Amino acid sequence: MLCLGSMDALLVDQVMAVYVVVAVAMAILGGIYAYVWRLSAMTGLSQRRLGLGFAGMVVLWLVLAAAAAARVFATVEPVLVLAALAILSIWALIFYFLWELDRTSRT
Amino acid sequence: MKFSGVLKLLLLFWLGGVILAAFFYAPADRALGEAGRVIIFHIPVAWVTVLAFLVSCVYGVQFLRRRDLGDDLRAAAAAELGLLFAMLATVTGSIFARITWGSFWNWDPRETSIFILLLIYAAYFALRSAVEDEERRGRLSAVYAIVAFVTVPFLVFVVPRVYFSLHPDIITPTGKLEMGARTLQVFLASLGGFTGLFAWMYQLAVRIGERRQQA
């Protein structure tokens, strides 16, 4: 799927392993996101905003994939930084929606 | 700001810290390399599954004792979250299996037991949707939730250890956790963070469910 041709084999293994960690974290956060979406339908919280958030999540993931595909990395460390940033931003997004859901469910 | 708001903000920074620590504090695993970091997220999800099913069982017992429909709602909300986290544990385990064993699904004892658990709790919701009368639904669901939880320790903790499994086990035969000190610290912090996240999601699900019941 990704074009990692210019990297040496060890680095490719390391990058792919980080991708597995990101995929696992994204799957967990994505599942939680879907649950928040379902709950939000019951409270009248703007689903448009949730949709935009989800689109943002996909874009982030694509940026990460594109960065690797562009063969910009010579070591695994920048991939770790990007991976952590991607997961952190999704977590912050989910937290925001949980916070909003909490607020709207009280009113 | 109220105390609960402070706790939620604490959760934001706590889990944020866990994410950063998973990549920059915990070292790569000796055997699994960078992919070893998966356990920091995968196992807490499985833990929350067990916790949610336990809560469902406890409220099932409460319903049978008090016949309060609120307890039925709490049991169902917990089972719903348990099912969600069980699915996430299955999906994330499957992704991990792909890189360690070369295929997404192998019918390994661990995979088979979580699959059976998923079926058991999917049937809980099939049962609930099949009964219209609230009191009867609550009674049947409560009994089912209790019986279903009896299978959880066997399916999650016993079966995968009785039969040969490719699944890595972090608990050694002597009962110790097989992890480096740093990884263990991040792992325990993640367990705490996911438990807090479950508590918040559960509280929201119950509150929204109560509002729908009143409407």
Please tell me which of the candidates A24, A39, A106 has its beta carbon nearest to residue B95.
Answer: A24
For the segment A48-97, what is each residue's pLDDT rounded down to a tens digit?
A: 666 777 677 677 776 666 666 555 667 778 788 888 888 888 888 889 88
**pLDDT score for B170:** 61
- Count Cβ–Cβ pairs < 8 Å, chain A vs chain B: 100
Residue B95 in contact with partner chain A when CB distance is under 8 A? yes
Mean local confidence (pLDDT), B86-105: 88
What's the Cα-to-Cα distance from B120 to each of A90, B47, B115, rounded to whole Å?
31, 17, 9
Query: Touching check for A26 and chain B: CB below 8 Å?
Result: no
- Reduce the DSSP state of residue B157 to 3 states and report it: helix
Query: Is 80 exceeded by the pLDDT of residue B166?
Result: no
Contacts of A105 in chain B (CB under 8 A): 204, 207-208, 211
Query: Looking at chain A, which residue has its C-alpha nearest residue B8?
Result: A99
* Tens digit of each residue's pLDDT (9 = 90 or more) over B100-109: 788 888 888 8
- B12 shares contact with chain A (CB less than 8 Å): yes
Angle made by CA atoms B105, B108, B112, in degrees to the nearest 5: 85
pLDDT digits (tens, 9 = 90+) for A2-27: 445 555 777 777 878 888 888 888 88
By the 8 A CB rule, do B61 and B142 touch? yes
A10 CB neighbour count, 10 Å cutoff: 10
Q: Where are the domains of chain A?
A: 17-106
Q: Which residue in A has a C-alpha nearest to residue B93's C-alpha? A: A24
- The whole-angstrom distance between B30's CA and the closest CA on chain A is 13
Asked if A13 is an interface residue toward chain B (Cβ–Cβ < 8 A), one would say yes
Distance, in angstroms, between B106 CA and closest chain A CA?
A: 18
A17 contacts B34? CB cut-off 8 A: yes
Average pLDDT estimate for B190-199: 96
For residue A12, the model assigns a pLDDT of 77
Residue B89 pLDDT > 60, yes or no?
yes
The length of chain B is 215
- The span from the CA of A73 to the CA of A12, in Å, is 10
> And the tokens for A78?
């920048």
Residue B193: both structure tokens together: 């963070």
Q: Is B204–A98 a contact, with Cβ atoms under 8 angstroms apart?
A: yes
Band of the pLDDT at A1, cuts 50, 70, 90? very low
Of the candidates B211, B173, B78, the one whose C-alpha atom is nearest the C-alpha of residue A41 is: B211
